[in-house]
Structure 1
Amino acid sequence: MTTQNQAGRARLHLIVSGRVQGVGFRFSACDEAKDLALAGWVRNIPSGEVEIVAEGSRESLQMLVAWAHLGTSSAHVTEVREDWLDFTGEFTEFRIR
């Protein structure tokens, strides 16, 4: 990341539970994150949940959280666990792992 002012930026770790695998959730999450100018990644985890790590503006991250509560039309989200962390600037793009 550049040496620009990082005020108002954060890192967010989400675990999304419910019917979120096999329903296009990761692909939609990736599109949403890119639309919000966030960087990081999304992946399925063995527990059947989806894990998201994203960095960017707090406002955009809050919008990603709101999206995660809804998910795709074929998903059924039952819980979204949030962990807010300090911005690191380690990511250059958002991708699916």
Structure 2
Amino acid sequence: MTGWFMFCATVLLLSLGGALWRIWQGPAPADRMMAAQLVGTGGTGLVLLLAAAQGWGMIDVALVLALLAAFAAVGFVKATTHDGAGDPEEEE
């Protein structure tokens, strides 16, 4: 089973390489942010697969990475709105 986890982790690592390429080359800020979200999600999955293969010691790292990815998305949305408020429910 450990071999299967490592194979899946390798596939996710290749996916993360493609996402890093899109962050570096991305034509628009939204494309770069979507690639950064993929890095957060894929990185969380990668760390969870490695934790399953090696004894579940890195689960906290995966949770922190998922939390940071969510905060990055919220920060991007707040920074790209027209008035900077970021919450359409606050408008009158």
User: Shared fold (TM-score greater than 0.5)?
Assistant: no
Report the TM-score, using the length of structure 2 for normalisation: 0.31
More strand by share: 1
More helix by share: 2
TM-score by length of structure 1 reads 0.30
Which structure is higher in RCO with an 8 Å CA cutoff and minimum separation 6? 1
